[in-house]
Structure 1
Amino acid sequence: MICKRFLIFGFLLLSSVAFFAQSERIEYLPTFDKNRIHYGFYLGVNELDFKLNLRESNIPNADIIVESATGFNVGLIADLRLHKNLNLRFEPGLMSNSKKIIFNHLKQSSVPQDSIREIGSTYLRVPLVLKFSTDRYKNMRPYVLGGLSYNYNFSSNEKNQDDNSSGEFRMKTSNFMYEVGVGVDFYLYFFKFSPSIRGVFALNNEIKYDDDPNSKWTAPVNYMGTRGVFLNLSFE
């Protein structure tokens, strides 16, 4: 539901600004795209959860679900023009989010807290992104993008000696993700405004398994990786 609201809001935002850009007769920032390098920053919101794959284990009727939540993104932009329609972008920033993992097979536990883990994550993201743009039309320019990122999870607890038996859910500190998205550059009087919608997907397994190989929390999990949607607003 949240993801659908993201997409609807993003579509309405792109449509409204596109209407404004096309209605303007004056072409703003006519030489902007001739710069070899330019800089900027972005703000945004995200809706993230985990993709879970379970495996056969000695935990009967293992059932785990994830409740997604909304977080925020903020970062800087360094853009290198490789070609008139191709740019390489370096977009380091922070991504913060909090999710809830529910272990339904533990709901009958004598300790109710055993069935729920709150996962707060703050990532330092270091993405390299290729941006493929169309030719400019008046004050707008649609584009698609794709790239890879290294993500350092400050909240991973990977080196914590306690695990789920002590109430601590652990994840890996270093992770890799890929992202794909679409957006539009809008050329305004003083700057370029670029809203984009992106999908983000983990490449590696992010879970840190409990010390007990038969842990009722982590033994059923074969793979757990971040996935979600970004709505970014860039100012360059």
Structure 2
Amino acid sequence: MGKANRIIYIITAFLIAYAGTFCMCAQQRNDKVLNRPYADLRRWHLGFSVGINTLDLQFTHNGFITESGETWFMEQPSFSPGFCVNGLFDLRLNNYFSLRLSPGMYFGNRVVKMRNTSGTEKEQQNIKSTMLVLPVDVKFASLRYHNVRPYLTAGAMAVYDVAKKRNRDPIKLSSSDFMLTIGFGCDVYLPYFKFCPEIKFCFGLSDMVQHKRPDLTDDPDRMKFTNSLTKATQQMVVMTFYFE
């Protein structure tokens, strides 16, 4: 996910700074007082989250040549921020591990640009998404230090896009996907709840391109984009703020 490096660095720096501010404020008030000291001993607890996301598509081309001798390439050169909201069910397994289920919805948009090899022709397509997601993660948390506790997560996520797709879009994506996820965050213990900023990276396993396009059999000028693709996989970077 090379072209996402800049946004990953920005989000990571923001998360570290944000969590650090909370930690400093909590410890400056009273370094000996533990907020919610028994919060992690409950068998299970509920929560919710809000956050932002960026959606990315990674294209694999096959070098298809049209009747006019053109070869077309697709790319997503920039990112559009999206919004996400999730519920949370957390099941404690032991002092370090917990199982987390966080169903929710992701809203986002991708702008895909198409160009031929000579660069004389360019087109673009907006792909809007409204995704129902079902992430299942294993959370590994370190020992608590005062009112903070960093953690790592790893898991999987089922995704189903309920956004309506226009039949004659140049590129048409499948609705369902399955993604592997990895992330990190920090539990910040406040007097009345636990605040958890988290960054998660999601990697799709499915080819999202619908290669069979009977709606475009009479329109080779649009079908050339689908014919030029071997596959396209989606990736996401999600920054989430949990309230537990």
The normalised TM-score by structure 2 is: 0.86
Q: How does 1:44-59 map to 2 (within 5 A)?
A: 44-59=51-66
1:80-110 deviations in whole A, cap 9, x for unaligned? 001110000000011111111111129755x
Q: Secondary structure at the match of 2:108?
A: strand
2:46 aligned with 1:39: yes
Instruction: Read off the aligned partner of 2:109 and give its amino acid letter.
Output: S
Residue among 66, 84, 109 paired with 2:95: 84
Secondary structure at 1:83's aligned position in 2? coil
1:10 counterpart residue number: 15
What's 1:102 paired with?
Answer: 113
In the alignment, does 2:35 pair up with 1:28? yes
Query: Which residue does the alignment assign to 2:3?
Result: none
- Give the equivalent residue in structure 2 for 1:64: 74
CA contact (8 A) 2:58 2:75 kept: no
2-structure distance, mates of 1:220, 1:4:
32
CA RMSD between the two structures: 2.0
**2:205 paired residue number:** 203
* Matching residue's letter, 1:17: F
Aligned equivalents of 2:44, 2:81: Cα separation in 1: 33
User: How far does the alpha carbon of each residue in 1:143-163 deviate from its partner, in whole angstroms, 9 at most, with x for none?
Assistant: 000110111101263xx6x33
CA–CA distance in structure 1, aligned partners of residues 26 and 63 of structure 2: 55
- SS of the counterpart of 2:93? strand
Aligned match for 1:152, one of 143, 154, 160: 160
Q: Does the Cα contact within 8 Å between 1:156 and 1:171 map onto a contact in 2?
A: no
The runs of at least 4 aligned residues of structure 1 exceeding 4 Å deviation read: 106-109
SS in 1 for 2:225: coil
CA-CA distance at 1:189 after TM superposition: 0.1
Q: Distance in 2 between matches of 1:219 and 1:21?
A: 57
Q: Per-residue CA shift, 1:102-131, capped at 9, x if unaligned?
A: 11129755xx7xx11100001000011000
Aligned-pair identity (%):
27
Could you tell me which amino acid in structure 2 is paired with residue 54 of structure 1? H
Equivalence for 2:233: 225
1:192 is the counterpart of 2:194: yes
Deviation at 1:197, TM superposition (A): 1.0
SS at match of 1:190: coil
Q: Take 1:18 and 1:54, find their aligned partners in 2: how far apart are those partners?
A: 47
Kindly indicate whether the alpha-carbon contact (under 8 Å) linking 1:51 and 1:225 is maintained by their aligned counterparts in 2.
yes
Q: Judge which range, 181-190 or 201-210, deviates more.
A: 201-210
Q: Secondary structure at the match of 1:19?
A: helix
For 1:10 and 1:206, the matched residues in 2 are separated by 31
Q: Which residue of 1 aligns with 2:84?
A: 73
